[in-house]
Structure 1
Amino acid sequence: MPSTETPDDATHGPTRPARETSDRLILLVISGYAALFVVFGFLVSSPTEIGEGLVAITTSRDTLLSDYFGVGGVGAGFVNAGLLTLSGCLVYSLVGARITGAAVAALFLLLGFGLFGKNLLNIWFIVLGVALYARFKGQPFATHINAAFFGVALAPVTSEILFSSLLPVGIAVPLGIGTGVLIGFILPPVAAQVFKAHMGFALYNMGFAAGLVGVLIVALFKSYGFVPDPVLVWTSGNNALLGGFLGIVLATMLAIGILLDREAPSGLQRIMRESGQAPSDFIAIGGFGATLVNMALSGAIGLAYVLAVGGDLNGPVIGAILSIMGFAAFGKHPNNFVPIIIGVFLGSLAKPWHLADPSILLVALFGTNLAPIAGRFGWGWGIAAGFLHSSTALSVGVVHGGLNLYNNGFAAGIVAAVLVPIIVAIQSDRARV
Structure 2
Amino acid sequence: MMHPNDPELRSFVDVEPDGDFPIQNLPYGVFSTGSAPQKRVGVAIGSLVLDLAVLEQEGMINLGTSEAVFAQPSLNAFMALGPEIWSATRKRISTLLRHDQPELRDNAKLRQRALLPLDQVVTHLPLAVAGFTDFYSSKEHATNVGVMFRGKDNALQPNWLHMPIGYNGRASTVVVSGTPVRRPRGQVKPPGADAPSFGPCKRLDFELEMGVVVGQPSTMGKMLTEVEAEAMIFGFVLLNDWSARDIQQWEYVPLGPFQAKAFATSISPWIVTREALEPFRTKGPAQSPEPLEYLRQTGDNNYDLRLDVDLQAGDGRAARICSTNFKYMYWSSVQQLVHHASSGCAMSVGDLLGSGTISGPEKHQRGSLLEISWGGSEPIALPGGDTRTFLEDGDTLSIRGWCRNDRYRLGFGEVAGRILPPD
Calculate the TM-score normalised by the size of structure 1: 0.23
* Structure with a larger share of its residues in helix: 1
Q: Which of the pair has more CA radius of gyration? A: 2
